[in-house]
């Protein structure tokens, strides 16, 4: 959605439509940028249901419909389902005013890898203190990981590390990404607003560990030209503290010009700029 299109879409709120109605009113614009395999009607219903179910998100969408539409357009152009671990819709406050921020989740990054056609499977797992984990770079093609998969934190212990790799359709194994607590802690420190109550680092820490590894893996997995643009661009854009109308390019695939960021700056999910929780 271009800045002009977003302006037109939000201008339709003159009659104070609900966020759900606003999404429905802009179905055509959202469908225009979706990948061809997506069903627009289903996607729109998912988006509407997500906003209706979360009071904080609904408040932010009512207060800032423009930020809602920017987040949804990003989700639509990537072909990811909003309000899921593919693409989070999160409330935040900027100068005390609620807004909506869209964040690509680890499952979204994995989905984009699969679309290349070069990936047969993707493995992304956390390692906990009581798990048995073995990895010898140069002597093993992939890690060995045994755990009580049905056990909780008390059984498996605290988060210790995370790893990711892909099995390619030609039978080979991609580079294996293995990160410890210090690597993830450094990524979290680089994330603006990570200590906010709204941040996924607070609400779903394990998912953010998984995303940290998935993002690193996305730089090593072979993809088609089209999907390389999406995967690399998404990994970078997800680190930015916010998206505005000016950030959304007319071409839904041409996001290779995204600003480069430090490899450890994983997520700028939530920005509290002088506002109150």
pLDDT(142) > 60: yes
Kindly report which listed range (11-25, 101-115, 256-270) carries the lowest average pLDDT score. Answer: 256-270
pLDDT at 269: 35
Whether 200 is covered by a domain: the verdict is: yes
pLDDT(17) > 90: no
CB 247 within 8 A of CB 2: no
Whether 261 is covered by a domain: the verdict is: yes
Whether 41 is covered by a domain: the verdict is: yes
Kindly report which listed range (85-89, 90-94, 97-101, 247-251) carries the lowest average pLDDT score. Answer: 247-251
Residues 6+ apart with CB under 8 A from 3: 245, 246, 248
pLDDT at 162: 97
Whether 135 is covered by a domain: the verdict is: no
pLDDT(100) > 60: yes
Whether 175 is covered by a domain: the verdict is: no
| pLDDT level of residue 219 (50, 70, 90 thresholds) | confident
pLDDT(244) > 60: no
pLDDT(44) > 50: yes
Domain residues for the domain of 44 are: 1-107+181-277
Whether 146 is covered by a domain: the verdict is: no
> 3-state DSSP: the chain helix, strand, coil percent, rounded to 5?
45, 20, 40
| pLDDT level of residue 96 (50, 70, 90 thresholds) | confident
- The alpha carbon torsion through 207, 208, 210, 214 (nearest 10 deg) reads 130
Whether 36 is covered by a domain: the verdict is: yes
Number of domains in the chain: 1
From residue 221, how far is each of 114, 177, 236, 248 by CA, in Å?
10, 11, 15, 25
pLDDT tens digits, 176-196: 999 999 999 988 887 666 666
| pLDDT level of residue 163 (50, 70, 90 thresholds) | very high
Whether 140 is covered by a domain: the verdict is: no
pLDDT(70) > 90: yes
């Amino acid at each position: 959605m271009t800045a002009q299109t977003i302006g037109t879409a939000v201008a339709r709120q003159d009659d104070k439509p609900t966020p759900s109605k606003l999404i429905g009113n802009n179905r055509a614009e959202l469908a225009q940028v979706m990948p061809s395999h997506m069903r627009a009607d289903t996607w729109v219903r998912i988006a509407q249901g997500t906003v209706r179910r979360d009071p904080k998100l609904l408040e932010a969408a009512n207060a800032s419909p423009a930020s809602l539409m920017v987040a949804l357009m990003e989700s639509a152009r990537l072909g990811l389902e909003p309000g899921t671990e593919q693409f989070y819709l999160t409330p935040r406050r900027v100068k005390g005013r609620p807004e909506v921020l869209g964040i690509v989740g680890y499952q979204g990054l994995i989905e984009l890898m699969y679309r290349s056609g070069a990936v047969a499977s993707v493995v992304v797992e956390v390692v906990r203190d009581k798990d048995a984990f073995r990895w010898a770079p140069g002597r093993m093609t992939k890690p060995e990981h045994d755990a009580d998969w049905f056990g909780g934190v008390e059984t498996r212990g605290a988060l210790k590390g995370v790893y990711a790799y892909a099995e390619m359709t030609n039978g080979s194994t991609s580079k294996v990404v293995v990160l410890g607590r210090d690597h993830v802690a450094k990524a979290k420190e680089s994330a603006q607003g990570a200590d906010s109550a709204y941040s996924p680092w607070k609400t779903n820490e394990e998912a953010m560990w998984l995303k940290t590894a998935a993002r690193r893996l996305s730089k090593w997995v072979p993809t088609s030209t089209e999907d390389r643009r999406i995967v690399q661009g998404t990994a970078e854009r997800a680190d930015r503290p916010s998206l505005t109308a000016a950030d959304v390019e007319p071409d839904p695939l041409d996001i290779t010009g995204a600003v480069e960021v430090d490899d450890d700056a994983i997520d700028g999910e939530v920005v509290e700029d002088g506002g109150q929780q």
